[in-house]
Amino acid sequence: MLRYIGTLILLCILFPLLLNAQHKFTLKADDNKEYEDQVKELEYDLISLITRKDTSAYASYLAEDYIRINRKGGESTKQDVLNEFAQKDSVIRQVSSIPSNIRVRIYGDTAVMNFDLETKVITPDKTEIHNSKLTKVLVRRKNKWFMINNQGTEIQK
């Protein structure tokens, strides 16, 4: 009987500790400077591809089920984005984009990148400057990063 009571008391003490231990689990990004640098470098490469109007190379970095939410809340697929680039190529003379405050967090083979972006668009009629905050999600497959999601929010400066 004493053994039974002792076991019961021990269980009463250990059970809450076990439950509490599961609630203390936290998730933090991996410390992977190599992947962080790769993702940052890719962002500069993607900007260069857009500036050079190399849509086929740009497309090679987009997942087939890629989704973009633009700065005004519109949703676009990979094909929508590529069609948009093709249409703009005939109207836009120059695009320059300057990223800043780039932050990359790595979770295994997934990267989440947040940054500010100033984009200057020159058309025959006008010059527009847009400031945005962006979040991009990328995955790494067969040693290559692919963008799977891109969301921009326009901000006033």
Residue 61's nearest CA partner among 117, 141, 153 is: 141
Residue 143's nearest CA partner among 35, 7, 3 is: 35
Against a cut of 0.85, is the pTM above it? no
Per-residue pLDDT, 84: 86
Cα separation of 157 and 147, whole Å?
Answer: 27
Tell me the per-residue pLDDT of 33-47, one tens digit each, with 9 for 90 and over.
Answer: 999 999 999 999 999
70's CB contacts (< 8 A; 6+ apart) are 76, 152
3-state secondary structure 57-115: HHHCCEEEEEEEECCCCCEEEHHHHHHHHHHHHCCCCEEEEEEEEEEEEEECCEEEEEE
Tell me the per-residue pLDDT of 116-145, one tens digit each, with 9 for 90 and over.
Answer: 999 988 888 888 898 999 999 999 999 999
Q: Which long-range contacts (CB under 8 A, 24 or more apart) does 27-33 make?
A: 27/107, 29/105, 29/106, 29/107, 29/112, 30/106, 30/107, 30/108, 32/106
Boundaries of every domain in the chain: 31-155
Protein fold of 31-155: Nuclear Transport Factor 2; Chain: A, (3.10.450)
79's CB contacts (< 8 A; 6+ apart) are none
Cα 108 → chain centroid: 14
Tell me the per-residue pLDDT of 102-119, one tens digit each, with 9 for 90 and over.
Answer: 999 999 999 999 999 999
